[in-house]
Amino acid sequence: MRTQVAIIGGGPSGLLLSQLLHQRGIDSVVLERKTKDHVLSRIRAGVLEVGFVNLMREAGVAERMDRECFIHDGTVISRDNASFGINFKDLTGSHVVVYGQTEVTRDLYEAREAAGGRIVYEVEGVGIHGADGDAPCVTYMKDGAEQRIDCDFVAGCDGFHGVSRQAIPLGVRREYEKVYPFGWLGILSETPPVNDELIYASSERGFALCSMRNEKLSRYYIQCSLSDSPEEWSDAAFWEELKRRIPEEAAERLVTGPSIEKSIAPLRSFVTEPMRWGRLFLCGDAAHIVPPTGAKGLNTAASDIHYLYHGLVQHYHDRDDEGIERYSERALARIWKAERFSWWMTTLLHRFPDQSAFDRRIQAAEVAFLRDNRAAQTVLAENYVGLPY
Ligand code: APR
Ligand code: PHB
């Protein structure tokens, strides 16, 4: 088999890149380890920057999102029982869009299939060869037989646990990581959201987040110990703890119900450099991870795809390699700003096991300054709605 761009990973990064390239007449093949149903069964976040939305529009995949999404002009921050709003619209003129990543991925799959896109599911043993030369290829096993794809470029969109990052030699790769001493216990419930906008709650008992997918589907998180397991948390215990961490007026109107999904995610900051090695380009979680506090996971994948897509178009249409030559530099410049914001939001709002009384006072002062200072709120808002590509 031959293609122009071999894409490893059929998550949002790989699918969005494949669809954007297709729109510009550039051929790709997507190799996905799991089945489509498995990929679509994953529960992920749901806050999209306008930059991501614009990419979906450019990919011709925004119709259902435009119909079903929620526009959020702000968010709520609370500490113990006091809360205040951050008005994105007033502070930046922009907003965020609430639309589940699962739906984004579903829309992208439908678009690729409608366009006759080549997606190979349930591949095994993917290997990347010759990425540092002029004629890379990708091999994989499918139904017990080895297959080979000759290509011009390889896009590693295979997430944190994929093989692409490992294809960059250890002597070339530099990795930066911070692991947080807690996790997020998240549930999905078929209940109306407790608030029109998200509530990021910081309390003596720990962090909590009130989010949503639509007017009948809510997503809640509480900070938990890394030694916890979802099975240890009954629904009743979860709701009780959530109510103790969010403002009383929200706790009083909270509609509880059975969880239809319950899971614990660890929190980490991670970046690998460079994000390019020869004709191999890393995108999304394959190259970087953020703690979910800043809602940047999918949105950092989006800017990688933006830079790589335009670089490949420049290569094929203009015979100009400036974009692909500068991919890693440009992608990392924005990634590190998103890493900083995600780290800052996490540090601001969570209860750290080793915090001293002084540390807690500093944290409270930081939240109070954010509450009272327009410039501080503008910094949060500019980062939350998304820094420019
Ligand atoms: N071969 C083929 N496919 C693979 C391999 C492999 N060796 N390893 C992983 N994959 C697939 C996974 O099954 C997954 O579907 O690559 C895909 C990677 O998708 P994501 O992990 O969702 O990463 P990405 O597309 O970059 O999207 C980032 O997803 O995890 C969230 O918070 C993250 O919102 C962010 C977004
Ligand atoms: C979610 O809705 O899952 C969500 C929203 C905002 C975040 C993290 C997760 O910061």
- Written as tens digits, the pLDDT of the chain (389 aa) is 999 999 999 999 999 999 999 999 999 999 999 999 999 998 888 999 999 999 999 999 999 999 999 999 999 999 988 999 999 999 999 999 999 999 999 999 999 999 999 999 999 999 999 999 999 999 999 999 999 999 999 999 999 999 999 999 999 999 999 999 999 999 999 999 999 999 999 999 999 999 999 999 999 999 999 999 999 999 999 999 999 999 999 999 999 999 999 999 999 999 999 999 999 999 999 999 999 999 999 999 999 999 999 999 999 999 999 999 999 999 999 999 999 999 999 999 999 999 999 999 999 999 999 999 999 999 999 999 999 99
Question: Are 125 and 37 within one domain?
Answer: yes
Quote the tokens at residue 43: 């529960």
Question: Are 364 and 222 within one domain?
Answer: yes
Q: For ligand 1, say whether the CB of 301 is within 6 Å of any of its atoms.
A: yes
Q: DSSP assignment of 86-154, as one string?
A: EEHHHHHS--EEE--HHHHHHHHHHHHHHTT-EEE-S-EEEEEE-TTSSS-EEEEEETTEEEEEE-SEE
Q: For ligand 1, say whether the CB of 31 is within 6 Å of any of its atoms.
A: yes
Which pLDDT belongs to residue 42? 87
Mutate to test the pocket of ligand 2, among 195, 219, 262 (most ligand atoms within 8 A of CB): 219
Question: Are 113 and 236 within one domain?
Answer: no
Q: Is residue 247 part of a domain?
A: yes
Which pLDDT belongs to residue 190? 97
Strands, sheet with 153-156, edge to edge from the N-terminal-most edge strand: 118-120, 28-31, 5-8, 153-156, 280-282, 276-277
Of the candidates 38, 30, 69, the one whose C-alpha atom is nearest the C-alpha of residue 53 is: 69
Which ligand gives the minimal distance to the CA of 299?
A: 1
Distance 82 CA to ligand 2 centre (A): 21
Question: Are 208 and 110 within one domain?
Answer: no
What distance in Å separates the CA atoms of residue 31 and residue 142, rounded to the nearest whole number? 10
Which ligand gives the minimal distance to the CA of 124?
A: 1
Which pLDDT belongs to residue 24? 98
Q: Is residue 79 part of a domain?
A: no
Which pLDDT belongs to residue 368? 97
Which pLDDT belongs to residue 372? 98
89: annotated active-site residue: no
Q: Is residue 19 part of a domain?
A: yes
Q: For ligand 1, say whether the CB of 34 is within 6 Å of any of its atoms.
A: yes
H or E, element range at 301: helix 297-318
Which pLDDT belongs to residue 245? 98
Residue written as token pair 């489509």: 36
Question: Are 309 and 360 within one domain?
Answer: no
CATH number at residue 122: 3.50.50.60
Q: Is residue 159 part of a domain?
A: yes
Q: Is residue 226 part of a domain?
A: yes
Q: Is residue 85 part of a domain?
A: no
The tally of CA atoms less than 13 A away on the side-chain side of residue 187 is 24
Question: Are 251 and 283 within one domain?
Answer: no
Atom number of ligand 1 nearest to Cα 34: 13
H or E, element range at 304: helix 297-318
Question: Are 306 and 380 within one domain?
Answer: no
Which pLDDT belongs to residue 44? 86
Question: Are 34 and 136 within one domain?
Answer: yes
Which pLDDT belongs to residue 45? 86
Which ligand gives the minimal distance to the CA of 210?
A: 2
Quote the tokens at residue 16: 């969005």
Specify the number of domains making up the chain. 2
Quote the tokens at residue 158: 């295979």
What distance in Å separates the CA atoms of residue 284 and residue 304, rounded to the nearest whole number? 7
Which pLDDT belongs to residue 295? 97
176: annotated active-site residue: no
Q: Is residue 84 part of a domain?
A: no
Q: Which domain holds residue 162?
A: 5-72+96-177+268-345
Atom number of ligand 1 nearest to Cα 124: 1
Which pLDDT belongs to residue 43? 83
The whole-angstrom distance between residue 92's C-alpha and the CA centroid of its chain comes to 22
The two most distant CA atoms of the chain are separated, in Å, by 63
262: annotated active-site residue: no
Question: Are 57 and 152 within one domain?
Answer: yes
Which pLDDT belongs to residue 331? 98
Q: Rounded to whole angstroms, what are the CA distances from 144 to 9, 31, 125, 148?
A: 19, 15, 10, 13
Q: Break the chain down into helix, strand, coil percent, rounded to 5.
A: 40, 30, 30
Residues near ligand 2 with C-beta < 6 Å? 45-47, 198, 209, 211, 219, 292-293, 295
Which pLDDT belongs to residue 259? 97
